[in-house]
């Protein structure tokens, strides 16, 4: 199992998608069973991976490497460290939950599950890739399923046909007018997503190709490039090559994060997408940006990261405040959650920008925690829409009488998103705030204001949906009663609450990936660490270099020792 855990996780969804091709849509339960079975295999293997990961040794473990094009130095090189491991688990959890959230889809069910499985597999591939070529390959692969899932199974977010100017002429969005999508906003949302992500992905690809060319190593292998690539002080266009590459990589991947002002595609995409797609979109697709920046910019260009990362510290404030205010005034449930997600991604950038052990550990934990919280919110927003065919908050209300289970779960999801004690989000937010204070006190104050905004708009939405008088036209709405309807919510709640009460393994796994990275970037070794299971504090030393360690195919052994074993 240890030797092939990554292959099980990555290829189980692909195998499920291929198997579904040969099944008729008339065999509905078989279609659902194959999708759920392949997602379950990936989830079980991810759980094994998470708990089998040796945080004491740290580094990249469960490594698999298969040559793909020796002449160009490309290989399918898979491995996970303490940063990738929890994100792989989050992807598998949301995929399994999303299968059941979509249990009642009857329109081309087979095709829906095929693209959902491919989308999840693509995100998992990014979190596993140790080769720049395949990291970008899986990154781009995620765009195709998103376009189809939004365009075919999504819902219209604006009634363009009913919008007119004072002269009675129909109004159409400028992009919609050019591409003739004025009357179908789900197609507009899908195209906007593709245009944004593809355009900025080209910038990231340029940065990757510049690394490949000027490193002179004839390889896309991240572990080789991070040890041997020398890209500093090469003059280009009045600056140096490393800065140009860093900016291309950072802004190329920041668009999917989404960092202000590159965010406008994301809330529209959230609003148009079906519930399971929104769960994966907000839960893990948005984290591809942060993760890819860490994997490429932090690993290969550590000195430049230390110099230029304050850019993220400035822009993250706009993400937090702008997203929070727009979410407060939005009246569409999915727009509220979508802008909330954009706002919360600013906290991750703040934790990354501080370049502190505590803040970066908190940022990675927050990516995992946010995946569970936003997954719950979008799943329940989808349930409310399926029952009422409305996402307009002012027209809804009093649904708690009809949906006691959903309303109760919604309270838990709101608490998690706010970061109330009792959910793992609280631990992650506190770590980001505490770890960033010394370097960016003003940004931390803005982040605290953002938490207050989060409480305001989520409580406002919760009150508008579930409390107060109910319009009798929604009296037909009913609660989630079947096991298939309750199971995904119970899983995400259990994960979010469970890691609050038992956070140490998650913390230790993440810290094992963060410590050597921060040592390399800041050149500062952690002053003191607490040995697990004891109260003794001991001096930690920088991890040894790994350039001389051979990369053996199918070797599960770690590549980077880790100095930290517990909380400071």
Residue 164 · residue 170 · CB < 8 Å: yes
Give 396's pLDDT tier (boundaries 50, 70, 90).
confident
Residue 239 within any structural domain of the chain: yes
* pLDDT surpassing 70 at residue 429: yes
Q: Which two tokens stand for residue 52?
A: 């089998």
Give 545's pLDDT tier (boundaries 50, 70, 90).
very low
- Lowest-confidence pick of 62-66, 259-263, 495-499: 259-263
Confidence at residue 401, expressed as pLDDT on a 0 to 100 scale: 84
Residue 360 within any structural domain of the chain: yes
What is the span of the domain harbouring residue 179?
5-538
How many domains does the chain contain in total? 1
Strand locations in 420-478 (E): none
Residue 567 within any structural domain of the chain: no
* pLDDT surpassing 60 at residue 325: yes
Confidence at residue 2, expressed as pLDDT on a 0 to 100 scale: 67
Residue 128 · residue 84 · CB < 8 Å: yes
Over residues 79-135, the pLDDT tens digits come to 999 999 999 999 999 999 999 988 888 878 889 999 999 999 999 999 999 999 999
Over residues 158-197, the pLDDT tens digits come to 543 344 444 444 444 444 443 434 444 676 777 778 888 8
Residue 442 within any structural domain of the chain: yes
Residue 568 within any structural domain of the chain: no
Instruction: Print burial letters for 155-177: b (CB count within 10 Å at least 16), e (below 16).
Output: bbbbebeeeeeeeeeeebbeebe
Confidence at residue 383, expressed as pLDDT on a 0 to 100 scale: 87
Distance between CA atoms of residues 463 and 539, nearest Å: 51
- Give SS3 for 423: coil
Residue 335 within any structural domain of the chain: yes
Residue 381 · residue 391 · CB < 8 Å: yes
Give 556's pLDDT tier (boundaries 50, 70, 90).
very low
Over residues 140-159, the pLDDT tens digits come to 888 888 888 887 877 766 54
From its phi and psi, is residue 355 left (phi > 0), alpha (psi between -120 and 50) or beta? left
Distance between CA atoms of residues 14 and 12, nearest Å: 5
Over residues 473-508, the pLDDT tens digits come to 877 888 888 888 889 999 999 999 999 999 999 999
Residue 544 within any structural domain of the chain: no
Distance between CA atoms of residues 217 and 73, nearest Å: 9
- For residue 260, CA distances in Å to 34, 100, 141, 306, 456 come to 39, 33, 24, 21, 21
Confidence at residue 526, expressed as pLDDT on a 0 to 100 scale: 60
Residue 281 · residue 269 · CB < 8 Å: yes
User: pLDDT over 70 for what percent of the chain?
Assistant: 85
Q: Which residues pair with 76 in a beta bridge?
A: 66
Over residues 403-426, the pLDDT tens digits come to 889 888 999 999 998 888 999 999
Question: Which whole number is the average pLDDT over 545-564?
Answer: 37
Confidence at residue 536, expressed as pLDDT on a 0 to 100 scale: 33
Residue 78: enclosing H or E segment and its boundaries? strand 74-80
Most confidently modeled range among 119-128, 332-341, 529-538: 119-128
Residue 561 within any structural domain of the chain: no
CA angle 109, 374, 127 (to 5 degrees): 80
């Amino acid at each position: 199992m240890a030797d092939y855990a990554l292959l099980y996780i990555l290829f189980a969804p692909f195998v499920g998608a291929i198997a579904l091709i040969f099944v008729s849509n008339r065999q509905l339960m078989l279609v659902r069973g194959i999708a759920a079975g392949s997602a379950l295999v990936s989830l079980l293997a991810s759980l094994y991976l998470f708990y089998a990961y040796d945080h004491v040794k740290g580094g990249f473990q469960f490594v698999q490497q298969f040559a793909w094009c020796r002449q160009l130095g490309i290989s399918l090189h898979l491995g996970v460290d303490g940063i990738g491991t929890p994100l792989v688990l989050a992807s598998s959890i949301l995929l399994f939950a999303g299968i059941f959230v979509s249990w009642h889809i009857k329109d081309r069910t087979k095709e829906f599950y095929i693209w959902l499985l491919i989308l999840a597999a693509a995100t998992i591939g990014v979190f596993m890739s140790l080769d720049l070529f395949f990291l970008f390959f899986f990154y781009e692969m995620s765009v195709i399923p998103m376009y189809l899932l939004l365009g075919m199974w999504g819902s219209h977010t604006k009634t363009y046909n009913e919008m007119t100017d004072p002269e009675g002429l129909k109004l159409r969005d400028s992009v919609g007018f050019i591409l003739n999508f004025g009357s179908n906003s789900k197609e507009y949302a899908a195209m906007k997503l593709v245009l944004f992500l593809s355009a900025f992905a080209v910038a990231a690809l340029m940065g990757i190709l510049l690394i490949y060319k000027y490193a002179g190593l004839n390889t896309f292998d991240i572990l080789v490039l991070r040890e041997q690539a020398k890209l500093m002080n090469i003059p280009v266009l009045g600056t140096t090559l490393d800065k140009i590459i860093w900016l291309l990589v950072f802004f190329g991947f920041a668009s999917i994060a989404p960092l202000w002002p590159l965010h406008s595609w994301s809330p529209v995409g959230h609003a148009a997408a079906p519930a399971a797609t929104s769960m994966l979109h907000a839960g893990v697709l948005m984290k591809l940006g942060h993760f890819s920046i860490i994997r490429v910019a932090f690993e290969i260009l550590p000195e430049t990261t230390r110099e230029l990362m304050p850019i993220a510290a400035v822009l993250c404030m706009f993400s937090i405040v702008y997203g929070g205010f727009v979410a407060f005034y939005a009246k569409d449930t999915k727009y509220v959650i979508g802008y909330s997600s954009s706002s919360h991604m600013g906290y991750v950038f703040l934790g990354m920008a501080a370049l502190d052990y505590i803040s970066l550990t908190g940022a990675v934990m927050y990516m995992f925690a946010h995946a569970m919280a936003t997954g719950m919110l979008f799943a329940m927003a989808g349930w409310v829409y399926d029952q009422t065919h409305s996402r307009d908050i002012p027209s809804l209300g009093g649904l708690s009488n009809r949906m006691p289970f959903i309303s109760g779960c919604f309270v838990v999801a709101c608490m998690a998103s706010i970061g109330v004690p009792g959910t793992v989000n609280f631990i992650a937010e506190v770590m980001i705030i505490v770890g960033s204070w010394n370097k960016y006190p003003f940004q931390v104050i803005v982040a605290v204001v953002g938490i207050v905004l989060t409480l305001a708009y989520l409580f406002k939405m919760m009150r508008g949906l579930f409390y107060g008088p109910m319009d009798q036209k929604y009296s037909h709405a009913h609660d989630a009663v079947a096991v298939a309807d309750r199971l995904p919510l119970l899983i995400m709640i259990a994960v979010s609450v469970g890691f609050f009460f038992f956070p140490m393994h998650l913390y230790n796994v993440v810290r094992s990936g963060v410590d050597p990275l921060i040592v390399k970037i800041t050149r500062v070794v952690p002053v003191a660490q607490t040995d697990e299971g004891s109260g003794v504090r001991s001096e930690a030393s920088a991890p040894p270099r790994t350039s001389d360690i051979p990369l053996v195919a199918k070797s599960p052994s770690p590549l980077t020792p880790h100095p930290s074993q517990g909380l400071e």
